[in-house]
Amino acid sequence: MEYYASSSAAVNIDRKHRHKCRNICFATMGVLLFFIILIVILIFTVFKPKNPVTTINSVTLAGLKLSLDLTKFQVLFNATLDVDLSIKNSNKVGFKYADSTAYLNYRGQKVGEAAIPAGTISADDTATMILTMTVMADRFISDSNFLGDVWGGELPLNTFAEVSGKVNVLNLFKIHVVSTASCDIIVFLSNSTVADQNCNYNYEL
């Protein structure tokens, strides 16, 4: 009887131990599941990835030299444009972007460019920069429309910038995002001014 009672007590203790372990396991799984659900909710609400907004605020003609060489029947042309660019990060976490480039186009052909150095923008912050573009005069002059535009006193140009990078959500997920800005402008050669700026913006996750 004494042996039976001892065995029964051991079984009860073992059963209680297994029951306790099972409760701890369920509690741990419950807490883990709670945190997983919380993280998912945060990712799709507070930390939902948002596209950065790249904006070309203005384009200024910093220098313009235009002359006619009658002896060689050539147009001598040189110009520099300053592009005021801003990148807004609307995310609740930092946005890290890679080296990028802004381009200057004339009738579909690239005639200038400026580097956008890699950087990081804090949450809900905006980075601004002035990019200086020196035009590639030979590409202007080789275009058959150039002389006509010069005589007309107006140069139709396009500025295009693309910024790509990653948003690091809770140090768990890195979401790739791309932001582009494209502006059509007119340079008036008579008074060296820029006008008629028409911009389009696009954002991709």
- Summarize pLDDT for 74-131 with one digit per residue, the tens: 667 778 889 999 999 988 888 899 999 999 999 989 999 999 999 999 989 999 999 9
pTM for the model: 0.72
Please determine, for residue 55, whether its predicted confidence score (pLDDT) is greater than 80: yes
The span from the CA of 26 to the CA of 20, in Å, is 10
More confident residue, 70 or 109: 109
The answer to whether residues 40 and 57 belong to one domain is no
The answer to whether residues 61 and 157 belong to one domain is yes
Q: Which single residue is written with the structure tokens 């959500």?
A: 169
The answer to whether residues 85 and 151 belong to one domain is yes
Q: Which domain holds residue 9?
A: 1-45
The answer to whether residues 32 and 75 belong to one domain is no
The span from the CA of 167 to the CA of 179, in Å, is 13
The span from the CA of 35 to the CA of 187, in Å, is 57
Burial class (CB in 10 A: 0-12, 13-18, 19+), 36: exposed
